[in-house]
Amino acid sequence: MKDRLIKIFATFFFIGYLPVMPGTFGSLAGVSIYLALKERPLFLFAAFAVTFFGGLYASSKAEVLFSKKDDGRIVIDEVCGMLLLYLLIPSHYLYTISGFVLYRLFDVIKPAPLARLEKLPSGWGIMADDILAALYSFMLISAWIILKRVVTF
């Protein structure tokens, strides 16, 4: 039973079992949670905390259950990364959409040092690159916001 619960959480209710783009669908699950909770920032923060700490534990255990390092079925890291990003950026549909696109781009391309973070042991290796992808996305959106203010006076 415990192994089943770990798989359910790590795959975020079986989204990770989708045959195509499970990471993208995991990220969309994060967007959905954000949209449901954006008016309640404390709940949004709680959702992030649960996916981060629960994700560290569940992804470590799921890696063993799936017998594969950073198995593609584990998508709790994408859910967590999206929630972190949306905690950091202003609530606006343009930032929501561009945040999703930037996050997926960074998560797929893995610019330095994202790829190196995957080599961290167990759950840390699974979660850390997604946290940094969220922070990279946040930095670009922040630069966009600042540039918008400077250019439009």
pLDDT tens-digit series, residues 91-147: 999 999 999 999 999 999 999 888 899 889 989 999 999 999 999 999 999 999 999
Domain that holds residue 93: 2-152
pTM value? 0.94
Type of residue numbered 79: V
How many domains would you assign to the chain? 1
C-alpha to C-alpha distance for 15 and 37, rounded to whole angstroms: 20
pLDDT at 106: 97
Is the pLDDT score of 84 beyond 70? Answer: yes
Question: What mean pLDDT is predicted for residues 69-83?
Answer: 95
